[in-house]
Each structure stands twice: as structure tokens, then as C-alpha cells.
Chains A and B, each alone.
Chain A
Amino acid sequence: MKLGLALVYLVLIGYAVFTIFPVYWLVITSVKDAFELSMVPPTLIPAEPVSQFYYELFAMRHFGELTTNSIVVGLTTAIVATFVGAIFAYGLSKLRVLSRRPKNAILLWVLSLVMFPPIILAFPYFFMLSVINLTNTLAGLVIVYLTFTTPFAVWTMKGFYDEYPLDIEEAAMVDGASRSQVFLRITVPILLPAMVTVLIFCFIFCWQEFLYALILTHDYRAQTVTVGVFGTISKWEISWGRIAAAGTVASLPVIALFLILRRSVVRRMTFGVVKG
């Protein structure tokens, strides 16, 4: 019995080390100077941490702008996606005009929109954005990012509406209020916290996105943080400190958001299939 528990701890601790060590290594690499970086064996605790690489990123490599871009694109996309998702999901969950069958068909169709490979949209968007002069703009990225955040918002909001007993709505409608009034005055205020969760997840997905941003932007006016990280990898002059610093800047904010939301992570990332 005792031995069993020791084994379990060994597995759990071993996996925890496997999980955390790479992140720890990233952070310490970002604060080691060139001399310390080349030491064998490598130091586990940086002897003299330097902030030089962070300074380089923000002073010379536009990381301030890239971070702002990621935040602006992420927030705008998240707000629009949550807005559309809240409305659409309400229609699919509460309106009785459509019967279940067409509603389920629409839901499946919405789900299928996030399942298809992102690259297949990259080609048409590359062409279409250049036609309407939105290549290398934040607005262009927002449009493309809505393609994966909106379906997520629809599914997640649908889950919230289905669970929440909104009997109070019926009462208001009997009193003569219209659907739109009920939605805006009653439903939205009640489900506001749920919407904030959806919004934060949409933001995280945008912050993590790389493929579209790599293809559809080409300088700091529209590039996002993930593209900035990739940009620090150069074939000619490799600065591991700078690469690691960029990786740290791109990771820590989302790790923080994730830990705050940890209770709903499973549920949201399976589109509500698994109730956490």
C-alpha cells in the first residue's frame, strides 16, 4: 500500500518536472549573459541575471508594438465573437420558431467551421485581404481570427443558455416585452459573467495564433507577439537569450490568464462536451 502511494507520487512529481522544467529553462535562458550561457554544465540558477535581452526586444525590435497589436487584435476579436456568439446561441437555444432538427444541423455546421485546417483559409484570405487593402493591418487579422473564435463563442454560450433556467424571461414576455427587449434587459445582464469567460478564452486563442499572423502581416505595424518570437530566430546571428526573452514575453501573460481560469479550462476547450 505504502509502496503504491510512493509510486504514484513518483509518477506525478516526475510529470510535474517534465511540465515545468522547459518553462523554467526558457525563463533562465532569457536572463543569462553570453558567457554564462556557454558554461558546461549549464547553471540552474543564473548567477548574475541580466535584463539586456528584454531591453533589446522592446528598444530595438518593436516588441512594445507587437504586444499592443496582440492585445488590440485579441480584444477586438474577442468582443465581436462573444457578441455574435451570444446572439446566435440565444437563437439556437431559446427561440421556438425553429424545431430541434434544423437547430442541431446549424450547431454541427458551426462546429465543423473550427475543425477544418486553418491553412485552407490562409490562401483565399491572403488574396482577398490584398484586394481590399487589408494585408498587414490589424483589421485584416481580426476578420480572420473571427473564423475560429465565433464558432467557439456560439458553442460555449449555447451551453450556458441551456443550463440556465431563464423562467424569468417567460414572465417578462407574458407581461408584453418583446424577445429583443427580454434578451437585452434580462438575459445579457444575467449571463454577463459567462460572457466574460468566453471573451477571455477568445482572447487567449488569438494571442496564441501564429499561422495566419505569419502569412498575413509583414512588419511591426500589424505583426503579433507570436510572429515576433519566430522573428527572433535568425539563420545568421543566433542570440538564444533574445529568443528566450521573446518566448517569455509571449508566454507569461497567457499562463497567468489560464491559471486564473483553470476551473473552466477543460470544459471550454472541449466546447462544453466535458463538464468540468
Chain B
Amino acid sequence: MKAERYVVIPFIVLPTIFLVVISVYPLAYSLFLSLFRGLLDQFIGLKNYADMLADRRFHDAVYVTLAFTTITVGLEVLLGLLLAGSLILSSVERKSWWQTVYIVPMAIPPVVSGVIWKILYHPSFGPLNLLALIRMPVPDPLGQPSLALLAVSLINIWMWTPFAFLVFYSGIGAVRQEIIESALIDGASKVQIFRSIVLPSLRTLILVVIFWRFTANLTAFDEIMGSTEGGPGFTTTTLTMFAYWIGFKSWDLGYAASAAVYLLLVVAVVGSSLFGRLGIVRE
């Protein structure tokens, strides 16, 4: 099969070059940009990186990003477990029907999800104004600095809990389902089954969900742009949004690129530390 050797060119070499050109080269270019002030205005070495570490706004953005990611991923996993557990352990009818309903938010463009919740949270045009009827104070979740981060977290939770649910529910597999069903018939309690069968079977899947959602939510932007645009103040300004403002509003692309590189480092560290435990590449 000597001819096989040349086949490597169209089937492996060319696609690799394609991806290097569209992805790796721009990535390297970003690293290069981060060594300059403005848009390649003046070479300043690693000064952007040093300045960034001393920048209060950067500290705030790191805090917002980590808080947002922890809250959202934590609740998405818990809610996903609750929903999947409810379906797995019960004799509810039409199980696939529930799945169909639950995946709807995943289809909606994230920026639109932000907009939807901006309308819902509106103190006078959203359903919250019902509170006024019973003479309760109407909150303004996106306008109050103390509530805004939780409010945008809820948007992300709305968007991605279905993902956790689906991974758990369909990932547990038909064989395990049967074991669970027979345990139920034998009269084992649901709490017992959940602890001794369901949770152990879901361990890897929980890691899968944490892996995907953690790395993705660290880069959250769309739903926040659609709802608060980072405000009020900087209370919902994530790292991506911070880099966006610096780059395209203050036009300091170099400084912004260095913020993005820090974000990349966080994602890479989190991603690779979780990835090793997934056993994705098995062969």
C-alpha cells in the first residue's frame, strides 16, 4: 500500500494547514498584538501583562467571571441532576416529551436569551409588575448592583440546565435504566437507588458537563450583552466583555489582547485539568 502514503496530503496535511491558517495563525497574532500599545503603535514588551495585573477593573472582571461561572455551573449540574433523576426514577408518562420541551432554550441565540430576560426583568413591562398589584416593592434585577450578577446568572442557568439534564438523562444508558427499573420493582427506596446506582453511574457525565459548561461559561458574553451590557457599573462585566470594551471602545487592542490571553490561560488550565479525567480519547 505504498500509494497510501500520498493520500496523507489531501486527507491530513491540507486540512491541518487549513486550520493552522484560520485559527493558529490568528491566535499567534493575538499574542503578538498584546506586546504593543494600541494597534501595533509602540512595542512595549510584556508591559500590558504587568499593567493588567495592577488594574482594578481587571480584578473586578476576574471576580465577576469566576463568580458567574461557579454559580451557573453549580446550579446547572444540580438542576440537571434533579430533572434527570426525576425522570429516571419515576413512572412518568411520555418521557421524550419532557426532553423536547426542555431543549428549547438551547436553540435560542444566546444574545436573544439575554434580550428575552431583559424584557422579563423589566419592572414595569415584565411580569414582575404583578408585585405592584399586591403592593410589594417591584425589584429591578438588572438595575440593582447587588442583584445584577445573580440575574444574569439565572439567564445562563435557563439556557444551559437543559444541556446538563440531557447529558445525564440520555447518558445513563439503557442498561443502567433497566437495572434501576428492576431495583424499583424489588422495592428499593428511591433515595437508596439514587445514591447507590444513579450517582455513581453519572460520575463521568457530571465531569463532562462541568468540563463543557465551565470552559464555555468562563467566556460568557452574548447573554450579558443582550441584557445588562456589563452594568450597572461593572457588576456584570466578565473578562470577555472587559476585553471587548478595552479593545473596541477604548481602542487599545494590545491591552485588550493581553486580557484575552489571561482568559485563555484560565480556560486552558481548567480545561486540561478536567479533560484528563474524562477519558474521551479512548482508543
Contacts and interface: CB of A to CB of B under 8 A. Distances in A.
Given A90-B11, A123-B260, A210 B111 contact: yes
Interface size class of B (residues with CB under 8 A): 35 or more
A23 B166 CA distance: 20
Contacts of A73: none
A273 B79 CA distance: 21
Contacts of B102: 15-16, 19
Contacts of A53: none
Given A12-B86, A16-B101, A229-B112, A120 B127 contact: no
A143 B278 CA distance: 31
Interface in B243-266: 243-244, 247-248, 253, 256-257, 260-261, 263-264
What secondary structure prevails in chain B residues at the interface with A?
Answer: helix
Interface stretch (A60-68, A188-196, A239-247): A239-247
Contact of B205 (A104, A125, A274): A274
A26 interface: yes
Interface residues of A, number: 98
B22 interface: yes
B86 A8 contact: yes
Given A19-B101, A255-B107, 11 more contacts: A22-B120, A42-B126, A117-B218, A117-B263, A120-B257, A127-B253, A229-B115, A230-B226, A240-B125, A247-B115, A255-B104
Interface of B: 1, 3-5, 7-8, 10-12, 14-16, 18-19, 22-24, 26-27, 29-30, 33, 39-40, 79, 82-83, 86-87, 89-92, 98-112, 115-120, 122, 124-127, 129-130, 132-133, 158, 162-163, 166-167, 170-171, 173, 190, 205, 208, 212, 215, 218-219, 221-222, 225-226, 239-240, 243-244, 247-248, 253, 256-257, 260-261, 263-264, 267-268, 271, 278, 280-281, 283
